[in-house]
Chains A and B, each alone.
Chain A
């Protein structure tokens, strides 16, 4: 023990050249684009008059500072530095696109107003209407999660029962085949009458939209489970309950997840349409309300917020799937 020496570190030091100059140049691209955008935005004469753009002009030094800090911090973590280097061209591309948008709208006035406002106007709308937007987001998320969870809660058991019991399948599959393909949004007039409040009606519609694909894919997943899994489980002493919950269900989970993604997509669509037509709150309602006042900057702002919410929800579901189906890693390419 006393003779033990510290492990030689020479090898790792020879190999160590963690921040190649090429990477550093690449990760500075967004900064360059930001500077270009700033110059373009402040120096070129405006083609459109009377547009609000205070926030965008003021945000440049702040954004550049933020990126510089991130860039500096990346030298402390090699993996973060690599990530930043990887993402930098994309970030630069987004900034470039915004700059182009600014040139085409604010500077040259090539696109008609009020339908196509400049990025500065959209940002201004986003900030000016933040409070209303937050309330709308809160409402939409409530509807979305409430309805979607309800759809899951009914869809998975329905699918399991249909896949397992032929008698349940006999009665339910015609109903599913006949009624399922109707878009949930087509039920809006009926749902608004049947349910005491438009909130409940919307919850029902979103749940219905999610329920159909989830049920179908769970059903198909359960019916396609290889018989040999059941045979093995039965020789190991499995009860019917075990066969359903611990063999059929996990074996069909990959298919169930396909259904949950499809269900999520139609939930979004149903949510927005339900809010456009009936409910007096939420993102869909906000879009139609802004349109009513011809405030297209607000419409664009709302679309931007929706993109964030929906893509965020979708990536959340991806995360859940990767967690649950960790056993598929390497088995299936995704």
Chain B
């Protein structure tokens, strides 16, 4: 029994200590040839604590994805800086794993080869290759190792892309609406999976979403962003224990607070009596 537990835990979370992200005075302006400049990020300041689950929540155009892409190093800030554990981010790095809305698996690679991509790219496939199987098991894709991406469902593909990001032992896992393309049921199932993996690994997670329920259900902290110009409105603490109940009054309290910020709570709502 204990042996089995040890085996399941063989992927040690030791490597993912730390993972503190500091966003300081960040501006990101997209210059357009026609039309006015778009201020995607306006004077954004944020400190993300290690090991915590953060959500960036807001309507489209609020700059949440731009902020995430800048943390990933795929985009460059116009001014200000972003640091991870004190080091300035100026390009992508395998310690900052990224999961997109679309699984973006490489169609010419099997699930197993896709998961192994990070190790292959870093030239350590030989030494660390055995971990690939552990991550495939972690996301529940045993038996699908030799299968090509077009042969699996959207949910399974997204699991594979999660495993692909995790295989590098990232300090931070950046997720850009990773469940946006899934149906409601698969989505809830994947939320559980992500929580389980996060609790197992202890990685800092920055999770972009426009789904309020999803943000409240998953996060330790919710960063509320508003558009035009994209800026942080408020950072909300979610002091609810896990597993969370979507129908608990505490859950609804936070939910209605967020709705109010976005102006979706009328002052004089009808009271329904059924």
Query: Are A233 and B107 interface neighbours, CB within 8 A?
Result: no
In the complex, whether B72 has a CB less than 8 A from a CB of chain A is: yes
Query: Are B120 and A330 interface neighbours, CB within 8 A?
Result: no
* Contacts A228-B100, A246-B121, A330-B151; A234 near B107 (Cβ below 8 A): no
In the complex, whether A276 has a CB less than 8 A from a CB of chain B is: no
Which residues of chain B are within 8 angstroms of A331 by Cβ–Cβ distance?
107, 150
In the complex, whether B185 has a CB less than 8 A from a CB of chain A is: no
Report how far A328 CA is from B121 CA in the complex, Å.
23
**A residues 279-330 with Cβ under 8 Å of B?**
325, 327-330
Which residues of chain B are within 8 angstroms of A231 by Cβ–Cβ distance?
74, 92, 98, 100
Query: Are A247 and B96 interface neighbours, CB within 8 A?
Result: no
Which residues of chain B are within 8 angstroms of A229 by Cβ–Cβ distance?
104, 106
In the complex, whether A253 has a CB less than 8 A from a CB of chain B is: yes
In the complex, whether B251 has a CB less than 8 A from a CB of chain A is: no
In the complex, whether B264 has a CB less than 8 A from a CB of chain A is: no
In the complex, whether B117 has a CB less than 8 A from a CB of chain A is: yes
In the complex, whether A45 has a CB less than 8 A from a CB of chain B is: no
* Contacts A242-B121, A330-B150, A330-B151; A235 near B96 (Cβ below 8 A): yes
Most B CB within 10 A of own CB, among A234, A242, A253, A329:
A234
Which residues of chain A are within 8 angstroms of B104 by Cβ–Cβ distance?
228-229, 232
Query: Are A236 and B164 interface neighbours, CB within 8 A?
Result: yes
**B residues 49-65 with Cβ under 8 Å of A?**
none
Q: Which residue of A lies closest to B170 (CB)?
A: A235
Give how many A residues have a beta carbon under 8 Å from the other chain's beta carbons: 23
Query: Are B168 and A237 interface neighbours, CB within 8 A?
Result: yes
Which residues of chain A are within 8 angstroms of B161 by Cβ–Cβ distance?
232
Q: Which residue of B lies closest to A247 (CB)?
A: B106
Q: Which residue of A lies closest to B106 (CB)?
A: A229
Report how far A247 CA is from B92 CA in the complex, Å.
16
Which residues of chain B are within 8 angstroms of A327 by Cβ–Cβ distance?
107-110, 148, 150
**A residues 210-244 with Cβ under 8 Å of B?**
228-229, 231-239, 242
Which residues of chain A are within 8 angstroms of B91 by Cβ–Cβ distance?
234
Contact of B94 among A236, A246, A325 (CB under 8 A): A236
In the complex, whether B9 has a CB less than 8 A from a CB of chain A is: no
Query: Are A235 and B109 interface neighbours, CB within 8 A?
Result: no
Q: Which residue of A lies closest to B103 (CB)?
A: A232
Query: Are B151 and A235 interface neighbours, CB within 8 A?
Result: no
Which residues of chain A are within 8 angstroms of B73 by Cβ–Cβ distance?
235
Which residues of chain A are within 8 angstroms of B19 by Cβ–Cβ distance?
none
In the complex, whether A251 has a CB less than 8 A from a CB of chain B is: yes
In the complex, whether B122 has a CB less than 8 A from a CB of chain A is: yes
Report how far A224 CA is from B118 CA in the complex, Å.
23
Query: Distance (Å) between the CB of B243 and the closest chain A CB?
Result: 30
**B residues 85-128 with Cβ under 8 Å of A?**
91-94, 96-98, 100, 102, 104, 106-110, 117-118, 120-122
Which residues of chain A are within 8 angstroms of B109 by Cβ–Cβ distance?
250, 327
Query: Are A237 and B122 interface neighbours, CB within 8 A?
Result: yes
**A residues 88-111 with Cβ under 8 Å of B?**
none
In the complex, whether B179 has a CB less than 8 A from a CB of chain A is: no
Which residues of chain B are within 8 angstroms of A250 by Cβ–Cβ distance?
106, 108-109
Most B CB within 10 A of own CB, among A233, A236, A238, A328:
A236
Which residues of chain A are within 8 angstroms of B93 by Cβ–Cβ distance?
235, 237
Query: Distance (Å) between the CB of A326 and the closest chain B CB?
Result: 8
Q: Hey, what's the 0/1 contact readout for A251-265 against B, CB within 8 Å counting as 1?
A: 101000000000000
Which residues of chain A are within 8 angstroms of B117 by Cβ–Cβ distance?
232-233, 236, 238
Which residues of chain B are within 8 angstroms of A328 by Cβ–Cβ distance?
107
In the complex, whether B67 has a CB less than 8 A from a CB of chain A is: no
Contact of A234 among B92, B110, B151 (CB under 8 A): B92
Which residues of chain A are within 8 angstroms of B225 by Cβ–Cβ distance?
none
Query: Are A235 and B74 interface neighbours, CB within 8 A?
Result: yes
Query: Are A234 and B120 interface neighbours, CB within 8 A?
Result: no
Query: Are A251 and B96 interface neighbours, CB within 8 A?
Result: no
In the complex, whether B139 has a CB less than 8 A from a CB of chain A is: no
In the complex, whether B138 has a CB less than 8 A from a CB of chain A is: no
Q: Which residue of B lies closest to A328 (CB)?
A: B107
Report how far A238 CA is from B164 CA in the complex, Å.
13
Query: Are B106 and A236 interface neighbours, CB within 8 A?
Result: no
Query: Distance (Å) between the CB of B40 and the closest chain A CB?
Result: 17
Most B CB within 10 A of own CB, among A232, A238, A242:
A232
Report how far A331 CA is from B147 CA in the complex, Å.
13
Query: Distance (Å) between the CB of A69 and the closest chain B CB?
Result: 40
In the complex, whether B162 has a CB less than 8 A from a CB of chain A is: no
Query: Distance (Å) between the CB of A249 and the closest chain B CB?
Result: 10
In the complex, whether B165 has a CB less than 8 A from a CB of chain A is: yes
Most A CB within 10 A of own CB, among B92, B96, B108, B117:
B108
Most A CB within 10 A of own CB, among B117, B121, B165, B168:
B121
Q: List 9 A-B pairs, minimum CB-CB distance, nearest first.
A: A237-B94, A236-B118, A238-B121, A234-B92, A235-B98, A250-B108, A237-B122, A235-B92, A327-B108
Task: Provide 13 A-B residue pairs closer than 8 Å at the C-beta atoms, listed in order of the A residue.
Answer: A228-B104, A232-B117, A233-B117, A233-B121, A235-B165, A236-B165, A237-B94, A237-B121, A238-B121, A250-B106, A327-B108, A328-B107, A329-B148
